[in-house]
Structure 1
């Protein structure tokens, strides 16, 4: 929740990275979260060492500006998500639902899978919705950070939940 100067609070859209394996993409997504005021969830195991020192290297000086939630595994994230009551929206090439034709809620969690393997079936099965970034034929996929930026931008536009400042 974001506390406004009026004292009111508004729910925040959130970013989740399922078992990321590319530290540069993780850094980019952490910077995206910092710049958009969007909390970021990292779900272990990562394909690279994840520590406070590594975080500073990946996210550079943005590490101090992102709200980071670190989950030891998928089950820990799921327990947190169920308590939060937020919908889980999985960005995937295995969907027919274009992201720009979907109706977002302010507290949605936008998730990308691992860069090398995507998200396994059990994540697809639990996701409340699966969203596709339409692309031209004969290409495999966009970079996860690019996809997330596109979808987050649409979600923030629809919910008019842009960061102040």
Structure 2
């Protein structure tokens, strides 16, 4: 399992996701442009002292990510479309892709990859926080694939 953040904008969210990835030994990909510098104090604070334990890869753009990683399957996270996360069939080799906080994944990216997952939301909230969403999706995928420790 791998987490991919497409053009993340908010340093504390990325830091929290990096910490999540360190805790689960999950590779993290950051697709530029980023809304912050990688040495941003808020990014480091959110990730605490776990950054040395994060398998993080920064890619200059989507095409370079696709060429260098050659993912078997991309699972596109969306607040509005896709299979509910608890009904989606995750695979061990999935790359879970989350979009920027203010706009989500672009339509052309969503349209070019058929596997979409969403976290059900009821009420007046448009979307969940990016790091919360990453945690929900990652832990559900690890549960389904039998990769959670007992």
Among 40, 47, 55, the alignment partner of 1:59 is: 47
Kindly tell me the number of residue pairs found equivalent between the two proteins. Answer: 150
Paired with 2:148 and 2:68, the residues of 1 have a C-alpha distance of 24
Q: Is the Cα contact below 8 Å between 1:86 and 1:108 reproduced in 2?
A: yes
Among 109, 118, 122, the alignment partner of 1:136 is: 122
Give the 3-state SS of the residue equivalent to 2:4 in structure 1: strand
Gaps of 5+ in 1: 1-12
Q: Which residue of 2 aligns with 1:25?
A: 13
Q: Which residue of 1 aligns with 2:112?
A: 126
Q: Is the Cα contact below 8 Å between 1:37 and 1:163 reproduced in 2?
A: no
Gaps of 5+ in 2: none
Paired with 1:54 and 1:74, the residues of 2 have a C-alpha distance of 25
Among 55, 79, 82, the alignment partner of 2:67 is: 79
Paired with 1:121 and 1:20, the residues of 2 have a C-alpha distance of 16
Paired with 1:163 and 1:129, the residues of 2 have a C-alpha distance of 27
Q: 1:43 to 1:24 in 2, by over 3 A?
A: same
Q: 1:105-141 CA distances to partner (integer Å, 9 max, x unpaired)?
A: 1010011100011111122123341111001132100
Paired with 2:33 and 2:149, the residues of 1 have a C-alpha distance of 30
Q: Which residue of 2 aligns with 1:9?
A: none
TM-score, normalised with respect to structure 2:
0.91
Deviates more, 1:90-99 or 1:100-109: 90-99
Q: Which residue of 1 aligns with 2:137?
A: 151
Paired with 1:38 and 1:107, the residues of 2 have a C-alpha distance of 11
Paired with 1:148 and 1:127, the residues of 2 have a C-alpha distance of 19
Q: Pick the structure with greater CA Rg.
A: 1
Q: Which residue of 1 aligns with 2:2?
A: 14
Shift of 1:60: 2.3
TM-score, normalised with respect to structure 1:
0.83
Q: Is the Cα contact below 8 Å between 1:87 and 1:128 reproduced in 2?
A: no
